[in-house]
Amino acid sequence: MYEEFYGLKEKPFNILPDPDYLFMSRGHENAYTHLEYAIMENKGFVIVTGEIGSGKTTLINYLINKIQQNVQIGLINQTYATPTQFIKMICQDFELEVDGMDKAEMFNRFHDFLLQQFSHKERVILIIDESQNLSPKAMEELRMLSNLEAEKHHLIQMILVGQPELKQKIQRPDLTQFAQRVTVNCHLNGLNRNEVEGYIKYRLNVARADSVDLFSKEAVDQIFKYSNGIPRLINVICDAALVYGYADELKKVDKRIIEIVAKERKDSGLFTRSGHKKDAPVQSASAFSLPGGDSVGQFYSDLERRMRLLENRLDNLDQRLSFIQKYKEERDTVVIELLKMVKESMEKRVQTLVNIQRRKLNR
């Protein structure tokens, strides 16, 4: 929409975890150094935590691209599962055939796989994203897997990535043995003011912008204020600001545009301001419980709650679209189209939830 107007080859502020766009702030560089050291030294359990949207997944994707070739990598991001389901997911991610096996048989199958990789001098690394959602029993299964050793060498290395509550979870008395296995841990905070400016310019440069000075100093101050330095929120604000700037034919985004974007976010209820309340548990917006046993009721309760939330937001969007179309000037056509796109995206998410429910009921 605005790429040609601002001399961009692609959109610089997509929220997808693209490793090409990883900005190495001091915190990210420190976290990457810890991860690199842990992998080189085969340091058992590694814990990486950070605020929502702080760039944890992007950092992990960057790490995966940098890891040498003689490493087998497994990546799990669905962490709502029973211990048996969890072991099965791990096996399947390493392409092991375990259909029809019970948990003990899957455990033995995975042990054989690890021994085989060790004999071929292949390292095995398991990365688990959204680890704050793991049940204590699933974490105990991970600890048991970490007990698998050969000739005083770890057969598998595990990297757990999650929100701040992951650190709180491993402090539980029943997870003391798990906590004792953690050899490396690091935490990602938000960017400071100067890093926010560097982050914006870096992404504009990666997107091959004609100029990386598309945001005024005052605009950057406001972006820092409203995002708390969280990369994902910076992306959301900057992308919307470029849309508004394009609508107003502004070659440089100023403070006024950021204030408009911030007000729009607050009024629409589409986003929530991220803070640094480390003690406040936050549910992952993309995580769902897997039905099975006692978790069925919780799964559908959670599903129903999310659908109601999305429906309420769609109603809110309908009301705002009606208001804008009735009272706004013609120059706001671009803004109307943006809201329509958001509405369509939410409608698709509702349909996805419905499809998930149907598939689960048909099993």
Same domain, yes or no, for 43 and 176?
yes
Same domain, yes or no, for 312 and 211?
no
Query: With 90 as the cut, is the pLDDT of residue 44 above it?
Result: no
Given this model, what pLDDT does residue 343 score?
A: 62
> Distance between CA atoms of 13 and 16, rounded to whole angstroms?
9
Boundary of a domain, candidates 264, 285, 306: 285
Query: With 80 as the cut, is the pLDDT of residue 357 above it?
Result: no
Given this model, what pLDDT does residue 336 score?
A: 60
Same domain, yes or no, for 261 and 197?
yes
Q: How many domains does the chain have?
A: 3
Given this model, what pLDDT does residue 284 score?
A: 34
Given this model, what pLDDT does residue 269 score?
A: 62
Closest CA to 238 of 248, 253, 225: 253
Residue 271 inside a domain? The answer is: yes
Query: With 90 as the cut, is the pLDDT of residue 349 above it?
Result: no
Tens digits of residue pLDDT in 145-164: 887 765 567 788 999 999 99
Same domain, yes or no, for 148 and 224?
no
Q: Which H or E element spans position 74?
A: strand 71-76
Same domain, yes or no, for 146 and 245?
no
Q: Which domain holds residue 329?
A: 295-362
Question: How large is the average pLDDT for residues 264-273?
Answer: 65
Residue 290 inside a domain? The answer is: no
Same domain, yes or no, for 315 and 326?
yes
Question: How large is the average pLDDT for residues 56-77?
Answer: 87
> Distance between CA atoms of 175 and 300, rounded to whole angstroms?
29
Backbone angles phi, psi at 209, to 5 degrees: -70, 150
The confidence band for 112, taking pLDDT boundaries of 50, 70 and 90, is very high
The confidence band for 298, taking pLDDT boundaries of 50, 70 and 90, is very low
Neighbours of 103 (CB within 10 A): 16
Tens digits of residue pLDDT in 196-240: 999 999 999 999 998 999 999 999 999 999 999 999 999 999 999
